[in-house]
Amino acid sequence: MVSEEEVLRIAELADIGIGKEELPPFTRDFNAILDYFAVLDRVPAGEGWKAEIANVLREDEVTPSLPREEVLALADAAEDGYIRAPRVM
């Protein structure tokens, strides 16, 4: 059983944002789903799934980059060729 506090902690880790009124239904659904996942406890021990092919590589060759106007046009805010983001300091 996962508590509302635990769901809040995970939401913070996921940077997902969660409203006060959402928390009870989210927690309820979360627990129902985790209950269902409990079936995994019955999985026999063994190796995990793994890819079958290896060493898929490309040669070190330069290909054209995107035109800068197209890159900056995608972003909401550009400044001197940079893309703007909220502050991190």
Sites of contact with other proteins (CB under 8 A): 2, 7, 10-11, 13-19, 22, 26, 29-30, 32-33, 36-37, 39-51, 53-66, 68, 70-72, 74-77, 79-89
Whether the CB-CB separation of 46 and 54 falls below 8 Å is answered with no
- Is residue 31 within 8 Å of residue 16, measured between CB atoms? no
Q: Shortest approach of other proteins to residue 60 CB, angstroms?
A: 4
The minimum distance between CB 22 and other proteins, in angstroms, equals: 8
Which CB sits closer to other proteins, 1 or 39? 39
Contact 65, 57 (CB under 8 A): no
User: Taking the CA of residue 64 as centre, how many other CA atoms within 13 Å lie in the half-sphere pointing to its CB?
Assistant: 3
